[in-house]
Amino acid sequence: MSHTAESSVAATGIRAPQAGFLHLLAELGTGRTAGDVQYTSGSAALSAPTGTAGARSAPAGFGTPHPHSAGAAAPPLAPEASGSGESPARVHHWQLLELAAEGTWSRVYRALPADSYRGQQPSYAVKLLRPQYEHDPRAIALLRREVQVARSVTHRHLVAVVGAELHRQPLLVVMPWLDGATLRERLERGQQFDLPEVLWIARQTAEALGALHQSGWMHGDVKPSNIMVAPNGHVTLLDLGFARPIEQSGSIADRWILGTCNYLAPEWFTSALAADIRSDIYSLGVILFELLTGRLPYQGRTIGELAALHRREAPPPLRKLAPLVPTEVAQLVHAMIAKDPLRRPQTPAEVVERLIRLEIELFTARAWT
């Protein structure tokens, strides 16, 4: 993404940005590390993998980059999708041109419709289950949920599903190919963010959550690896497999997660409160905190320690870590990561409204300096 802003956000604070108005915008207690862990339970879904295929383009809704996907030759196609000779592999009505990314339970390929003319630019991502998960009811439920949610709600900031095969093996889901990089990739590259961009990314993500909420869903897995940012700044919220109806309560005990719990709200770790749309707001607040300060609000060494921090410990004052963040921005972030869901903004629409107000105030202040 290109910027005119000269300022950056880091652990030491941010300088006043100069960007233009266009930038408005479970196994708890074990010794496993907090950053990469499995929770096991009776849920009918597997978590989406984290990461993407590359910084410049990535399949929508996917995850962990394949080690050969960034510039090197792609490895052979998976056995269930491999072709013979030099011809592209074909699965149902799709030509699989190269393995783009893979994770614990699935693989994603750059693909074209089978009747496409030779030389046409690939513009789709086809997600297939790994052979060992082809008949796993949890993995199948994940694919079905992605399709169900995508067909019940469409929004410019939500990943789209343009096709699927859910009745004949191999099962697959087809999504648009998205250019850009996830927030996780950008954070891992050490990229810094100016304040207008942070607010803009957060607002677009909140708009996607609002569309889900209005259609009766919560996302359930809001984290940097599920937020794709295109070169022009457009945000797409990925991975709808963990979405659940808002009237359906849940906790860590009834879901299966592969990845990090750094962004999960406290209510996921307790049976006293049920996770709902305000849990997604908490997760987005943690992301905001990380983008603005360069660190997570809680840094536990084990899953049990991290869960205890989310449940009981107050986060460090944001402006102590980033003194130049405006007070109003810090207040919103701290409200979003409040322990008690009743103290958070109650809907994504409220978050969007407050972010727009902050964006306008920031632009107005710059215009008079």
Looking at the fold, whether 189 and 167 belong to one and the same domain comes out as no
Residue at a domain's end among 152, 179, 206:
179
Last residue of some domain: 179, 207, 223? 179
d(CA 348, CA 27): 30
Quick one: 348 and 243 in the same domain? yes
Spatial distance between the Cα atoms of 296 and 99, rounded to a whole number of angstroms: 33
Rounded Cα distance, 202 and 261, in Å: 20
Using pLDDT thresholds of 50, 70 and 90, give the confidence band for residue 275: confident
What is the mean pLDDT of the segment spanning 227-237? 95
- Model pTM? 0.74
Residue 320 in tokens? 């102590």
221 classed as catalytic: yes
pLDDT tens digit sequence for 8-61: 333 333 333 333 223 332 223 333 334 433 322 222 222 233 333 333 344 443
Domain containing residue 327 = 9-44+180-367
Nearest residue to 129 via CA among 178, 179, 166: 166
Residue 308: CATH number of its domain: 1.10.510.10
- Give yes or no for a contact between 186 and 54, defined as CB atoms under 8 angstroms apart: no
**Final residue in a domain of this structure, among 142, 159, 179:** 179
Per-residue pLDDT band for 320 (boundaries 50, 70, 90) equals very high
Please check whether residue 2 lies inside any domain of the structure.
no
Contact by Cβ (8 Å): 349, 280: no
Domain presence at residue 168? yes
- Per-residue confidence (pLDDT) for residue 339, from 0 to 100: 92
Q: Are residues 166 and 274 in the same domain?
A: no
Q: For all residues of the chain together, what is the average pLDDT?
A: 75
The catalytically annotated residue of 221, 239, 276, 280 is 221
Which pLDDT does position 357 carry in this prediction?
94
Residue 145 covered by a domain: yes
The count of structural domains within the chain is 2
Q: Are residues 322 and 271 in the same domain?
A: yes
